[in-house]
């Protein structure tokens, strides 16, 4: 979500046709929903009418998210704060089936020694993608989260982590933890179950503490408050 240029383009088109009606919050939700569907994932309905916050702080938003090296306990507690069940939380993290992980978030699993929970063959692949423990800050070094179907939204993520081929520490930990393992195994076997549970989670996640009515504002530009 660091690259908002497409959201800006969508918002500008909407504003030209229907100014001051559709919030940036709704644009982001719809963009994510449609992006999932375009990559072969489930299409689902979302309720609209969100308003945008009058506050703006990227650092505050980042602080809400768990760190890249979070453990299962922290992850489940975080998801529980949004009223998500364990299977819903596992399904939501299945979105890692697409996208990529930057080397800056991978190297602590590779250097100076390889994380013992990481598949050895996969670790060698990651070292080729991330050949130094100190990636240059301006270099775009990364690994695809799913080498098999990198641009398809499917349950291959769960098959990968059952082989301990998850990019982030949390990925493999979800398979190794007895609380989450049964759901990882079921979603790896049943793509329909993964999709259905993912939609449940998104329905809850996207309606958590939204601003409506006269709260907040409808931003003219998503990068700044009015």
154 among annotated binding-site residues: yes
Does 137 appear as a known binding residue? no
List the beta bridge partners of residue 107. Answer: none
Contact by Cβ (8 Å): 106, 167: yes
Residue 37 in contact with residue 207, Cβ under 8 Å? no
Residue 70 assigned ligand-binding role = no
CA–centroid distance for 91 within its chain: 11
Q: Does 66 show up as a binding residue in the annotation?
A: yes
Q: Is 40 left (phi over 0), alpha (psi -120 to 50) or beta?
A: left
**Residues contributing to the annotated binding site:** 66, 96-97, 146, 149, 154
**Residues contributing to the annotated binding site for Ca(2+):** 97, 146, 149, 154
**Residues contributing to the annotated binding site for heme b:** 96
**Residues contributing to the annotated binding site for substrate:** 66
């Amino acid at each position: 979500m660091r690259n908002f240029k497409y959201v800006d383009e969508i918002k500008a088109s909407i504003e030209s046709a229907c100014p001051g009606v559709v919030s940036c919050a709704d644009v982001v939700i719809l963009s994510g929903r449609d992006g999932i569907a375009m990559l072969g994932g489930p299409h689902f309905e979302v309720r609209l009418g969100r308003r945008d916050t009058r506050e703006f702080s990227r650092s505050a938003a980042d602080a809400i998210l768990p760190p890249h090296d979070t453990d299962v306990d922290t992850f489940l507690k975080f998801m529980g704060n949004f009223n998500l069940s364990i299977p819903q939380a596992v399904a939501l993290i299945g979105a890692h089936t697409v996208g990529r992980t930057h080397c800056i978030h991978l190297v602590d699993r590779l250097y100076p020694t390889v994380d013992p929970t990481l598949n050895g063959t996969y670790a060698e692949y990651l070292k080729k993608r991330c050949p130094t423990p100190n990636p240059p800050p301006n270099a775009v070094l990364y690994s695809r989260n799913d080498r098999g179907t990198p641009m398809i939204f499917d349950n291959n993520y769960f098959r990968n982590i059952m082989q301990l081929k998850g990019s982030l520490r949390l990925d493999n930990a979800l398979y190794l933890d007895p609380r989450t393992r049964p759901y990882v195994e079921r979603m790896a076997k049943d793509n329909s179950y993964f999709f259905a549970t993912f939609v449940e989670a998104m329905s809850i996640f996207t309606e958590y503490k939204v601003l409506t009515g006269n709260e907040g504002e409808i931003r003219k530009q998503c990068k700044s408050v009015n």
